[in-house]
């Protein structure tokens, strides 16, 4: 009898944990540390996939384990926006996003004994105009400090979002459709486990 694979989440993101838990999956969290620096000539989508694969590979996939890695990139004008390094950086990012559309790309990778598979979620997010006072108040809330693109769509940052075209869960950090598809391909179907 074949043992059901153990799912490992190679991330300490509370949002990714919440999404997986909401899908009714049992999993173990394994923190990983990978260099998230962009590579020369790399597109934001390629970067999201590369980092998702690196995170999945950094966790131990021995025995029958399947490791899930993910990375989210916020990009505008083809350029990735990382996490703000300080208040000035945060305010500059929010000013750049204000009144415009941008892309949120989340790469998902599964790594196990039978190899790796990946998927990329790409969502268009449109912000309303953000005043300087609003951007400053948002910085002072503490929420944007560790968020790519300096905002969290599921938190206070959601007040800036006029509309989304694509995957809301992908913007949060783990696209449900793509993740569930990869898991089903690896023998961990979400609904088939009920």
As annotated, the active-site residues are: 71
What is the distance, to the nearest Å, from the Cα of residue 38 to the centroid of all Cα atoms in its chain? 16
Beta bridge partners of 127: 161
Question: Per the structure block, which two tokens stand in for 67?
Answer: 């490791």
Task: Dump the DSSP string for 86-107.
Answer: SHHHHHHHHHHHTTSEEEEEEE
- 72 half-sphere exposure, CB direction, 13 A CA radius: 26
CA distance readout (Å), 119 to 38, 64, 130: 19, 21, 32
């Amino acid at each position: 009898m074949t043992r059901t694979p153990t799912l490992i989440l190679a991330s300490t993101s509370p949002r990714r944990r919440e999404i997986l838990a909401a899908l009714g999956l049992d999993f173990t969290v394994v923190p990983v540390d990978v260099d998230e620096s962009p590579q020369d000539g790399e597109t934001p989508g390629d970067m999201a996939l590369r980092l998702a694969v690196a995170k999945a590979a950094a966790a131990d996939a021995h025995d029958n384990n399947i490791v899930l890695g993910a990375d989210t990139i916020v990009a505008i004008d083809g350029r990735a926006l990382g996490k703000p390094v300080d208040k000035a950086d945060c305010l500059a990012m929010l000013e750049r996003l204000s009144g415009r559309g941008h892309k949120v790309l989340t790469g998902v990778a599964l790594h196990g004994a039978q190899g790796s598979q990946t998927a990329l979620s790409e969502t268009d997010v449109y912000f309303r105009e953000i005043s300087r006072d609003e951007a400053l108040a948002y910085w002072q809330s503490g929420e944007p400090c560790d968020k790519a693109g300096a905002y969290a769509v599921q938190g206070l940052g959601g007040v800036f979002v006029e509309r989304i075209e694509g995957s809301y869960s992908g913007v949060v950090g783990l696209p449900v459709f793509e993740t569930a598809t990869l898991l089903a391909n690896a023998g961990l179907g979400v609904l088939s486990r009920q």
